[in-house]
Structure formats: structure tokens, C-alpha cells
Amino acid sequence: MPVQTENLQAKLESVQERILRAAERARRDPAQVLLLAVTKVFPAGVIQDGYELGLRDFGENYIQEFETKAPQVRSLPGARFHLIGHLQSNKSRRGVELFDVIQTVDSAKLAKRLNEAGKPIDVMLEVKLSPEEAKSGASPSELPDLIAAVRALPNLRLLGLMTMPPWSREPEASRPFFRQLRELADQHGCRQLSMGMSNDFEVAIEEGSTCVRIGTALFGKRQKV
Ligand SMILES: *Cc1c(COP(=O)(O)O)cnc(C)c1O
């Protein structure tokens, strides 16, 4: 096995072990927590390596970047690709062609455009829970209308909610945001929760995450883009 793959295998085993332990602490079934491997910035070969080690769900942030990798990985049997970066509505058709899940729907306009692509697509709604920064996402007050709009669109299947708290070195700082997302999901009858990244995924699992999006803890530090 090449050194790099061996390294990935060790990191993957460690992340899986940590997911198990966090689920155990929360008395949850670990099978209810999807490990989404975030491969943005890394070449297509990294997706292939992850696939060989059993990973099936991959997260990418940019349409343009994934367009260059897709020819090498799109036909891997059972692999699913999730868009976790912001999607401009003028790229929605391309998004539906390239991805199996769009986790970042944040406006009725984008939802409508995705529906018009004419192909069934799984979606999650990105919720912005902190007012700071120019981060994308619908605010909690916009959520009821957005959920109603998405549920009325025949090609969109609403899986649940997604969020990204402000970055902090301290994992516990994310807990109130995760808890708030879970409360919103409960209020609106949404079942899945995409929350938790390399530095705070255990806290997210304790708060009910069903999808942890992990890049750095599996693949190491990314080059700045
Ligand atoms: C990059 C990214 C991740 C992965 O972050 P890590 O800290 O490397 O695990 C997860 N979610 C989103 C939305 C991202 O953009």
C-alpha cells in the first residue's frame, strides 16, 4: 500500500473510532451518523483512495473544481457527491448534473432554479445561526417560508438542515449552534442534520448530527485557495 493511502487509512480509523465513541456517549446508533469526506482542493486521486478504503460520500465546495475531477470519480459505484459550498442560482443546472445532494440551498430563488433543472435532487437547507461575517445561509426567521417553498417543488427532496458555526479553536463554542439547528429541525419536521467538522464533530454528534463533514482530520491541511 502506498504510504499516503496507509496514512489515510490510519486517520480514517481514528475518525471512525471517535465517531463511535461520541455516538456511544450520546446513546445514539453510530450507523445514523454519516461520515462525509470533504475532498475540496485535493485531486481526484484522493477521492479514489478514500473510496478504496470504503468511503462513499464525498463533499466538494466548488462547481468548477469538481467539474475537473468528476470524469475520474463520477462513475464509482455507490459513490455520492454532496455540494457543501455556496451555489449561485445561475449554476444550479450544473449543480444538479454533478451532485447527488445539494446541502447549501439558502433561498427560494435557488430552490426554484434547482427544480427547473428537471431532475430529482436531494437537498438540505443551509441555516445561518450567527449574524457575523458574510456567510451564506437562510436565517431562522426565513426558514419557515423556505421550507414551504422547497416542499412544494416536485423535483426537490428535502433531507434536512445544514449549518456551519463561526470557526473557533474551542469545540464547545459550537454546541449552542448545533443545539439550535436541532431545535429548528424538530420544529419543522426535518430529519437530517449536517453539522460538525474536523474540530467539533464529536460535539455535533452529541447534539444529534446525522452527517459530519470532515476534511482536515482525514486528509491533512489544505493549501489555501
Ligand atoms: C471545508 C469544509 C468542511 C471541512 O472542514 P475541516 O475543518 O477540514 O474538516 C466542512 N464543511 C464545509 C461547509 C466546508 O466548507
Task: Read off the pLDDT of residues 49-61 as tens digits, 9 standing for 90 and up.
Answer: 999 999 999 999 9
**β pairing state of 57-60 and 34-38:** parallel
Domain boundaries, the chain: 5-219
pLDDT band, residue 6 (cuts 50/70/90):
confident
pLDDT band of residue 223 (cuts 50, 70, 90) is confident
Ligand 1 centre to CA of 155 (Å) is 27
How many A from CA of 1 to the centre of ligand 1?
27
State the closest ligand 1 atom to the C-alpha of 201, by its place in the atom list counted from 1: 9
Q: Which atom of ligand 1 lies at the shortest distance from residue 219's CA?
A: 8
Residue found by looking up cell 464529536 in the block:
202
pTM of the predicted model over 0.85: yes
Chain Cα centroid distance, residue 92: 17
CA distance 66 to 217: 21
Rounded Cα distance, 127 and 142, in Å: 9
pLDDT tens track for 71-129: 999 999 999 999 999 999 999 999 999 999 999 999 999 999 999 999 999 999 999 99
Going by alpha carbons, the residue nearest to atom 12 of ligand 1 is: 84
- For 178, the enclosing helix (H) or strand (E) is helix 175-188
Q: At what angle do helices 143-151 and 108-116 cross, to 10 degrees?
A: 10
Q: Which fold has domain 5-219?
A: TIM Barrel (3.20.20)
Residues with CB under 6 A from ligand 1: 38, 40, 61, 84-85, 164, 197-199, 213-217
CA 126 – ligand 1 centroid, Å: 14
Q: Which three cell numbers stand for residue 217?
A: 482530520
Q: Going by C-beta distance under 8 Å and a sequence separation of 6 or more, which residues neighbour residue 132?
A: 166
**In terms of DSSP H, where are the helices of the chain?**
3-25, 44-52, 63-73, 92-98, 108-116, 143-151, 175-188, 201-206, 216-219
Closest atom of ligand 1 to CA, residue 218: 9
Atom of ligand 1 nearest to the CA of 197: 9
Query: How confident is the model over 145-161, as pLDDT tens digits?
Result: 999 999 999 999 999 99
How many C-beta neighbours within 10 Å does residue 154 have?
7
Q: How far is CA 88 from the centre of its chain?
A: 17
Cα separations in angstroms, 201 against 24, 156, 217: 14, 27, 10
What pLDDT was estimated at residue 131? 79
Q: What is the 197 CA–ligand 1 centroid distance (Å)? A: 6
189 CA to middle of ligand 1, Å? Answer: 26
